[in-house]
Amino acid sequence: MRFFRFLTPLLLAIVVVLCFAPTAWAFCGFYVAKADTKLYNKASQVAIARDGDRTVLTMANDFQGEVKDFAIVVPVPTVLQKEQVRVAEPKIIERLDAFSAPRLVEYFDSDPCAPVYEYDRPMAAPAPTSSNESARARGDASLGVTVEARFNVGEYDIVILSAKESGGLETWLQRNGYKIPKGAKQLLKPYVRSSMKFFVAKVNLDKFEKSGYQFLRPLQISYQSPRFMLPIRLGMINATTEQDLIVYILSPEGQAEITNYRTVKIPSDANIPLFVKDEFGEFYKSMFQTAYTKEDKKVGFLEYAWDMSNCDPCSADPLTSEELKEAGVFWLDDNSASNVPVSPNFRRSVPRSNVFISRLHVRYTRDKFPEDLIFQQTGNRDSFQGRYVLQHPFQGELKCQAGREYKRSLPKRFEQEAQTLAKLTNWNIQDIRNKMKLSISNLRFSWWENFLSWVGLY
């Protein structure tokens, strides 16, 4: 069945759709999983690199369907010229996602009977014909629509429009093959009133076939404007469910935040039961939904904030200077510390770079997010990440006094982990305890049989 929907905010667009179908790795036994955008069926992604009033916006493409049906309409603050538009490689968005995704880490308790040296102590992580043309232009003018520019970039045909009223813009789009869902006129009206322009892109089928690409590449636009905002209202026009938007903001200053909605940190630095290692995706989705509901479904969550020269722990290597430039970082100093990748399993002090990343996760609906997102950069360079910890008990013989005290402390610790998980996810506490019993019994401690009898949970 053919239906139409506005692409979620990374494209901020009108889409004609024929059909839409809505790995973890580890190192050194430390980082074990990440909550990347693959967890969500409809997670839009946009990267914004901004310094002062200059912005490079990369719109990742979640369109699935026949490319001949793809088209987008993006409100932009200024008229864009050809040199301000390019196509980017999808990998750059994947790299930003992998680097900044919330993560699961694990530690292993040391032998409490062995001497402890300072270097043995675990280091906690800080918390896009001339006569016919003349006739067309006259028709456009009668609608109050002006074609400000027309050009091709890669596999896309681009038109930049201005409009005097939303009804005329809607008619122009319909006449030019952009099928507009019911309600578009009303949502276009605020952008027309604020004198925004409209970036309209279609796929050039001949160029796409010659390109050899299997999927549409992200569009990247550069512009200068005091407005630091992201239009999301167009993305709601045909939305029947909650939409997820991941925004990666790259700044030479520090952490970015949303100003017209509250920005809160995702719950983090929690010790949770060992069995979550096999269910981390479901854990994170449940935890996010619980936090989202608790905050009345009208906040933006900060999932990650970090200097891009390093990470601790790392789920992927920091981006190289070439990758940062691909992501739109136009101010990058070639002598900055971000040129030196840091191995994920090597911990050391790294000089501060001039690129700071903030990962914001917004789950939105029309009633809870009636306004477009407005951002601001801050000087706050404090590090933060969504981080969840598995703490493995020591499994050897414990014959010293410290070892006996350690054993006695474990039941309370396990119960605290169960309570924490129930609070974060709203999962049933008894189901959690049952799963913990199974996972702990599989550890096969040499002294575990006696220990089990002490544990009221089991």
- Amino acid of residue 336: S
At residue 339, does pLDDT exceed 50? no
List the helix and strand counts (H, then E) for the chain: 10, 22
**Banded model confidence at residue 27, pLDDT cuts 50, 70, 90:** very low
At residue 363, does pLDDT exceed 60? yes
Tell me the percentage of the chain whose pLDDT exceeds 70. 75
Flag the least confident range among 122-131, 156-165, 200-209, 223-232. 122-131
| pLDDT confidence of residue 332 | 84
| Each residue's pLDDT tens digit, 231-258 | 988 777 656 678 899 999 999 999 999 9
**Banded model confidence at residue 20, pLDDT cuts 50, 70, 90:** very low
**Banded model confidence at residue 31, pLDDT cuts 50, 70, 90:** low
Flag the least confident range among 140-149, 344-353, 367-376, 439-448. 344-353
Strand order in the sheet with 71-76: 71-76, 197-203, 156-163, 145-153
Hey, what long-range contacts does 52-56 have (CB within 8 A, 24 or more apart)? 53/224, 53/225, 53/226, 54/222, 54/223, 54/224, 54/330, 55/222, 55/223, 55/224, 55/225, 55/228, 56/220, 56/221, 56/222, 56/328, 56/329, 56/330
At residue 349, does pLDDT exceed 60? no
| Each residue's pLDDT tens digit, 202-220 | 888 888 887 777 778 899 9
At residue 54, does pLDDT exceed 90? yes
Residues 419, 415: Cα–Cα separation, whole Å: 6
**Banded model confidence at residue 132, pLDDT cuts 50, 70, 90:** low
Yes or no: say if 148 and 185 are a contact pair by the CB < 8 Å rule.
no
- For range 255-270, the mean pLDDT: 96
Is the Cα torsion angle 374, 376, 380, 384 positive or negative in sign?
Answer: positive
| pLDDT confidence of residue 347 | 37
Name the residue among 49, 32, 4, 55 with its Cα closest to residue 283: 32
Distances (CA, A) of 38 to 31, 186, 425: 18, 33, 19
At residue 265, does pLDDT exceed 70? yes
Residues 56, 213: Cα–Cα separation, whole Å: 23
Enter the tokens of residue 29: 């036994």
**Banded model confidence at residue 360, pLDDT cuts 50, 70, 90:** very high
Q: Give ∠ CA 163-167-168 in degrees, rounded to 5.
A: 45
State the DSSP code for 406.
H
At residue 329, does pLDDT exceed 90? yes
| pLDDT confidence of residue 418 | 96
| pLDDT confidence of residue 241 | 79
Flag the least confident range among 51-55, 273-277, 450-454. 450-454
- Amino acid of residue 356: F
At residue 367, does pLDDT exceed 70? yes
| Each residue's pLDDT tens digit, 390-412 | 999 988 888 889 888 988 899 99
Taking residue 289's Cβ as centre, other Cβ atoms within 10 Å add up to 15
Taking residue 440's Cβ as centre, other Cβ atoms within 10 Å add up to 22
| pLDDT confidence of residue 407 | 87
- For range 422-433, the mean pLDDT: 96
At residue 125, does pLDDT exceed 80? no
Higher-scoring residue by pLDDT: 248, 66: 248
- pLDDT averaged over the chain? 80
| pLDDT confidence of residue 204 | 84
Q: What is the pTM of this model?
A: 0.82
Residues 191, 186: Cα–Cα separation, whole Å: 10
Distances (CA, A) of 242 to 43, 98, 174, 187, 285: 10, 23, 27, 18, 13
Yes or no: say if 329 and 14 are a contact pair by the CB < 8 Å rule.
no
Q: Which three-class secondary structure string do you get for 105-128?
A: EEEECCCCCCCCCHHHCCCCCCCC
Flag the least confident range among 97-106, 135-144, 352-361. 135-144
- Amino acid of residue 371: E
| pLDDT confidence of residue 133 | 53
| pLDDT confidence of residue 142 | 76
- For range 55-61, the mean pLDDT: 91
**Banded model confidence at residue 64, pLDDT cuts 50, 70, 90:** low
At residue 222, does pLDDT exceed 50? yes
Residues 385, 98: Cα–Cα separation, whole Å: 13
| Each residue's pLDDT tens digit, 276-322 | 999 999 999 999 999 999 999 999 999 999 999 887 767 788 899 99
Helices (H), 143-265: 166-175, 184-193, 205-211
